[in-house]
Structure 1
Amino acid sequence: MSATPPPAPAAVQPVIVTPDLDRLRDFYRALAGAEEFTRVPEEGPAFFVGLRIRGSELGLVADRSMAIGTPTRILLSIAVEDVDALLERVEPLGGTVRGPANDMPWGQRVAHIQDPDGNAVNLTQPL
């Protein structure tokens, strides 16, 4: 009698609900090179946009009633090639820099920022 193999692990995709989907999509495109790979509906104003950032996925859902800047309980961490170079781009793109980049004892350079909706984002670079 053979054992039944366990089911394949489920993929996890973080999804941000935003009142301004286009603004947030453009922020992640310009900052992290995100590429749109899907949108619903395909024509007209989107309800959902799927983005790929270096092999990872991030979803954006439009909800105009969503308040921005409220405390969040999620942190996005994006691995980048040059944290310091990207920090200069955050505020012109509508985000907020929470402080300078720091070298961490676990071997990463990390900068804490917020996207235009106030979501916490870490930019990380291997040392």
Structure 2
Amino acid sequence: MHAPARKLFPMLSALDFERALAFYAEQLGGRESYRFPPEGQPAFELGIGRIDGSPALHGQALRPASGHRVELCVYVDDVDATVARLAEAGAPVLLAPRDMPWGERVAYVADPDGNLVMLTRENVS
């Protein structure tokens, strides 16, 4: 039997680290839960790593040639208001808010590095 993972979270790459932090903290309300290194930039349960031109340790390109590999799901209180605020701040809206047959209201935006972010709220009937 394998031991369970102690912690699991996604890591995104960011060309403009400060802009990515502002998007997830200021625009989506993410809160800092730890820093590594302790004197370094904050990280969230969503890890954001700086792209600085250095080769990645794993040897793979940090950007896929096309398409996307990751889609983040963020539950919010008001999908429409969140999309409006993000659009006003310059985030591309990829799918306007709409009700889905499974009972959620969803919309898609892109973060500053083009990562897909699904904003959702369970519909209250």
List gaps (5 residues or longer) in structure 1: 52-56
Identity among equivalent positions (%) equals 35
Counterparts in 2 of 1:43 and 1:6: CA distance versus 1, 3 Å: closer
Residues 1:78 and 2:86 are matched in the alignment: no
List gaps (5 residues or longer) in structure 2: 54-61
Give the TM-score normalised by the residue count of structure 1. Answer: 0.77
Deviation at 1:8, TM superposition (A): 2.9
Name the one with the larger strand percent.
Answer: 1
Residues 1:63 and 2:51 are matched in the alignment: yes
Give the TM-score normalised by the residue count of structure 2. Answer: 0.78
Given that 1:95 and 1:114 are in contact with CA atoms closer than 8 Å, whether structure 2 keeps it comes out as yes
Q: Deviations over 1:25-82 (max 9, x none)?
A: 11111222101122233335x3xx421xxxxx21111122366996321100101110
Given that 1:68 and 1:117 are in contact with CA atoms closer than 8 Å, whether structure 2 keeps it comes out as no
Given that 1:27 and 1:94 are in contact with CA atoms closer than 8 Å, whether structure 2 keeps it comes out as no
